[in-house]
Amino acid sequence: MATGFRNLTVYKKAFALAMDIYHVSKKFPKDELYSLTNQIRRSSRSVCSNIGEGYRKRLYEAHFVSKISDSDMENTETQVWLDFALSCEYMPKEIYDDFNERSKEIGRLLNHMIQNPEKYK
């Protein structure tokens, strides 16, 4: 059974989005491998890793908030890469809309954590 950070709704949602981005990005052009493809995969995965790291720092409020803020930053970076993927016509608008809405929800959950760190001790 999952424990700790893996039980957090935000982690589950971020992990699912990162995996969906991975699968969709497999179809991106090969010449994007070292730019857009790697960047969007890295930023979406970093959302999860920063949640995990932040959760382990939750007893130290400033460290916790800093790591969750990093996660929020990576989430926003993912949205930027989604914009590029849509503009370059690498993904359909429906998938973009779904991913973008999910990312915005993750952002709201992360901001709740930043505003209420005491709830995660």
Give per-residue pLDDT as tens, 73-91. Answer: 999 999 999 999 999 999 9
Tokens of 6: 């893996």
Tell me how crowded residue 47 is: count the other CB atoms within 10 A of its CB: 28
Cα–Cα distances (Å) from 67 to 95, 114, 119, in that order, read 28, 9, 16
Residue 1, pLDDT above cutoff 80? no
User: Taking the model in full, what pTM does it have?
Assistant: 0.95
Radius of gyration of the chain (CA): 15
Across 82-107, average pLDDT: 98
Task: Kindly indicate the confidence band of residue 3, based on its pLDDT and cuts at 50, 70 and 90.
Answer: low
Token pair 């700790």 is found at 4
Q: Which fold has domain 13-116?
A: de novo design (two linked rop proteins) (1.20.1440)
Percent of the chain scoring above 70 in pLDDT: 98
Residue 2, pLDDT above cutoff 60? no
Residue 30, pLDDT above cutoff 50? yes
Across 89-100, average pLDDT: 98
- Chain centroid offset of residue 98 CA: 14
Amino acid residing at 5:
F
Cα–Cα distances (Å) from 17 to 9, 45, 56, 82, 86, in that order, read 12, 9, 22, 12, 16
